[in-house]
Amino acid sequence: MEAVIAGAIAAIVGLASGQAVSIRLSSSKGKDSVRIAALEQAVTQMITREEVQNAFAQVAKIEAEKQKAVMMAPPNVSFEEAVLSRQQNIQRAATQTDQMNQQMNQQLAALQSRLKEIQSGQS
């Protein structure tokens, strides 16, 4: 959650600084696109457009999940309770997945040992 908030803040800062650079460059006569490209190449710490787009996409996903949780929750359940319930469901699913993985690993180990037995009998 903190990463998303940091991403959103970074996106806002990036947009604001990009807008300021754009305004400053557009006020002076010349080739704006060439200057902006040169500036983006020179300043590696500058937030890229892709990072801004990714941050906005993450914020949109979180907002959609929030709306979904509110819509799917019973009427007297708060957002926090709905999120907690969803997290518990995710943890339960992860536990089931881990159990399935362990079972598959055991079956694979049994198959590998059987294959070794077969190969040693043929040699």
- In sequence order, what DSSP letters do the residues of 1-41 get, joined into one string? -HHHHHHHHHHHHHHHHHHHHHHHHHHSSS-HHHHHHHHHH
Listed by start position, the domains of the chain span 1-72, 74-123
**Spatial CA neighbour of 14 closest among 40, 38, 33:** 40
What string of pLDDT tens digits covers the 123 residues of the chain? 677 787 778 778 777 777 776 666 566 656 667 777 777 666 655 666 777 788 888 888 888 888 887 777 666 667 777 777 888 888 888 888 888 888 888 888 888 888 888 888 765
Q: Find out whether 79 and 67 touch, Cβ atoms under 8 Å.
A: no
Q: Is the pTM of this model over 0.75?
A: no
